[in-house]
Structure 1
Amino acid sequence: MAESGHPTRKPDLAGLVLGTVMTASATYAIIQGGATGYAKAPIITMYVVFAVSLFMFVRVELRHPDPMLDLRLFRSASFSAVMGVAAVSVFGLVGVALLSVLYMERVGQTSPLDVGVRLLPLFGTFLLVTVVAARVLVHRVGLTPLITTGLVLIGAGSLALLATDASGGYEAMWPGLLIAGIGAGLLTAPSTAAAVNSVPPQQEGMAAAAVNMARQLGTVLGPSVLGTIVTSRFPRKLHDRLVEAGIPSPQADGIVEGGSHGGGATGLPASLARVVGTAVPRAFTDAVHLGSVIGGVVLIVMAVPAALFVRHKVHSPRTSAEA
């Protein structure tokens, strides 16, 4: 087997620092902007920091003799598609898990221990299918079909969470978790293989590391984006539900303020408490459904470039060098 390590590795500290600043500023802006508003000065500042650090990161990596990430690898359509797959797949998997946890805790009033047990169809299936896909399916089916199918299944699992309602029942949730777990397991090993397969042998190690970096980015963006969607939309959904129930808008605003901070219907008259007790789980379910739709659509859309550009076969290092 050809050696994929680089014989003259030099530290790329500037790239490491700029990459960290870039990721941290974007994450802060997404999370905090959802809570305070994206037009606030600190949020705008963070986006400026992100843009500047991104520009400098690209500039440094292109000029560094031994960059942390060789951006020229993205000239390969297959490599670029795999990076998108890696980020989006974890974005979707973590997003499904987060939305499920929020739903179970806030709507179903499920204990933390029971939440962990109820996530087994997602993560248990993911682990089992990953082993099977890595050892058997990659060589029998090929990279592209597994990656494309995996993305579609995670997206379908996310959309399947739309079957949940304000009752907080688990019966409507577990099928979506199972489907998403199967999808994530199908594409984890193939996406790494596809990345390595898309570059020359001496850059295989960098390609594998880049896949892991893209997955880490997805791990950050999944909770940041989808969690922000839920927490920012819940107050609006709750306000709309209360107004629909006949509560005056000013009074609804006060209830929303309390509901957003976990106050619920405490201290309200019995008749009003019943209305609020019904509106809160419905509004939170609505917000979770919105996050599920966005996550599902992103995953299914990503399946298109995956199907078009990811290499279809697993090549040996020698074959990769000849390609």
Structure 2
Amino acid sequence: MLSASVLLVVMDMTVLNVALPAISEDLRPGSIELLWMVDAYALVLSGLLVTVSALGDRWGRKRMLLTGFAVFGLASMAVLLADSAIEVIAVRALLGVGGAMIMPSTLSMIRNLFTDPAERARALGVWAAMAAVGAALGPILAGLLLEHFSWHSAFLVNVPVMVVAIAAGLFLLPESRNPRPGRWDALATVLSMTGMVALVFAVKTFGKYGLAPTALIATVLAAVTLGWFVVRCLRRPDPLLEIGLFRNGPFSAGVVTALTTSIAMAAVLLLLAQWMQLVQGYSPLETGIRLLPAALAAIVASPLAPALAAKIGARTVLAGGLAVTGLGFLLLFLAPSPLGYWPVAGALTLIGIGNGALAIASAVIMSGTPAEKAGSAAAIEETSYEVGGALGVAVLGSLAAAVYRDQLDYEGPQAGVVRESLGGALDAARELGSAGGQVIEQARTAFTDSLILTSGAGALLMLAGTVAVWLLMPRGLDLSTAEH
């Protein structure tokens, strides 16, 4: 049941990307409103992760998880009342609240339910596999729904699953909490929420607008509040977040794995989805199906990773997984020109196999964490994924945009629109008549080049992550016996 809840949350993240064009056509949001539709979920989720995880340790992890299910379901139902862009943004923000309650609660409950390290590693392998299933099903389900129903259906599919999850959770899940919760730190709560929202906002704004004043102000605010938060947590005997966990080498290796993988994956998979639709001309449903190799490979690799780690060592599997993911990005970089689907399918398969290591990353993080601090560990891991995804889109996405602009030598009518994005170039080309064909060809070639070079940057990042994990992980760590 814990794995099924993760499946739905991950699926919901991917559904929006496919549903956005239909939402835009119906509600006609402005460019700023469209950005907030995408960003509201991540900003709320990242801001609440630390606080909600700490609350779950004190209030009860089962209670927090079931409340998250209820919030997620109610937010999904509220979309029926949404007939403006602002109301959709509010729904997305409320979904972020529910997601912040669900994601870390599942990890911390697995840490407490499976006291045997070997069983916990297998459970986390299943958990990671279900996340991969969600990533695979999201675009396909959204494509099917949008072919037959309105965009509201992409949200409403959550409701029956959440009802079943609440009913099952009431009977199947035991309650667990920190027996020595300590005193609640209200100032640290405010600092963590302010700092995380400011950090994610700054990263996203830098990616979209460069050195904008709002991004610089948000960066300063994030640095001050998060720095103060870290110092405060290190000095208190009962911190809101157990920063001291980073003194543990395997824990840090697991976080590095989550961070580097999400940075590279967020950018390259986003570019691949656009390449398939705007360059290759696939429909949203066809795109979802053609992205399946990564998810299918991860579904197979994730449950097998703990058994492989027991045979050859957790360090080898964790670092090896990052290396295999890097090979997938390298295959995209070295693929013959013009880029076709089959090298992409091979790359996606390698990326999916490598992502099986994320199951080991979660197991390594949890194995070095005391049961009463499981919420802190879960919050740090989920924050790594969230910040990594934002960094990937902002930093590697900005690199892709710069390469795209550099590869274009078009200087004719609407040059600014053409150089802004591939979507803008295709729209402008329709208005240019006979001259539009050359613009489309140039823009598609430039976008493909940007995808290839960004994949090369992703490969270098995964190489750096591989080296860092190899150095941080002790050679003899055995997840079947590891316990704090």
CA distance in 2, matches of 1:257, 1:200: 49
Which residue identity is paired with 1:131?
A: P
Contact persistence 2:203–2:390 (CA under 8 A): no
The residue correspondences of 1:51-62 to structure 2 (distance < 5 A) are 51-62=223-234
Q: Which runs of 5+ in 1 are unaligned?
A: none
Contact persistence 1:33–1:43 (CA under 8 A): yes
Which residue identity is paired with 1:49?
A: L
Give the equivalent residue in structure 2 for 1:313: 477
Larger CA deviation: 216-225 vs 69-78 = 216-225
Q: CA deviation at 1:123?
A: 1.0
Deviation sequence 1:75-95 (CA, Å, 0-9, x none): 223322221112112323333
Determine which of 265, 272, 296 is the counterpart of 2:429.
265
Give the equivalent residue in structure 2 for 1:286: 449
Change in 2 beyond 3 A, CA 1:104/1:17: farther
Determine which of 5, 28, 35 is the counterpart of 2:208.
35
Contact persistence 2:250–2:365 (CA under 8 A): yes
Quick check: 1:304 aligned with 2:473?
A: no
Q: Secondary structure at the match of 2:340?
A: coil
Which residue identity is paired with 2:352?
A: G
Change in 2 beyond 3 A, CA 1:115/1:259: closer
Contact persistence 1:27–1:224 (CA under 8 A): no
Give the equivalent residue in structure 1 for 2:377: 207
Q: CA deviation at 1:208?
A: 4.5
Give the equivalent residue in structure 1 for 2:282: 110
Change in 2 beyond 3 A, CA 1:202/1:259: closer
Q: CA deviation at 1:178?
A: 0.3
**RMSD of the alignment, in Å?**
3.0
CA distance in 2, matches of 1:6, 1:18: 22
Quick check: 1:130 aligned with 2:274?
A: no
Quick check: 1:229 aligned with 2:392?
A: no
CA distance in 2, matches of 1:232, 1:260: 15
Which residue identity is paired with 1:196?
A: M
Q: Secondary structure at the match of 1:224?
A: helix
The residue correspondences of 1:144-293 to structure 2 (distance < 5 A) are 144-163=315-334, 169-185=340-356, 187-199=357-369, 203=373, 206-238=376-408, 240=409, 242=410, 252-253=415-416, 255-256=418-419, 261=424, 262-268=426-432, 270=434, 272-293=435-456
Determine which of 25, 38, 41 is the counterpart of 2:198.
25
Determine which of 222, 227, 242 is the counterpart of 1:70.
242
Q: How many residues align?
A: 309
Contact persistence 1:77–1:309 (CA under 8 A): yes
Give the equivalent residue in structure 2 for 1:47: 219
Tell me the percent identity. Answer: 29
Larger CA deviation: 277-286 vs 206-215 = 206-215
Change in 2 beyond 3 A, CA 1:308/1:206: same
Which residue identity is paired with 1:219?
A: G
Structure scoring higher RCO (CA < 8 A, sep ≥ 6) equals 1
Q: CA deviation at 1:236?
A: 3.4
Q: CA deviation at 1:267?
A: 2.7
CA distance in 2, matches of 1:308, 1:151: 13
Give the equivalent residue in structure 2 for 1:295: 458
Change in 2 beyond 3 A, CA 1:232/1:13: farther
CA distance in 2, matches of 1:320, 1:314: 9
Structure-1-length-normalised TM-score = 0.83
Q: CA deviation at 1:58?
A: 0.8
Q: CA deviation at 1:111?
A: 0.8
Larger CA deviation: 73-82 vs 304-313 = 73-82
Change in 2 beyond 3 A, CA 1:223/1:47: same
Contact persistence 2:318–2:361 (CA under 8 A): yes
Q: CA deviation at 1:315?
A: 5.0
Larger CA deviation: 28-37 vs 12-21 = 12-21
Change in 2 beyond 3 A, CA 1:214/1:169: same
CA distance in 2, matches of 1:208, 1:43: 28
CA distance in 2, matches of 1:258, 1:304: 35
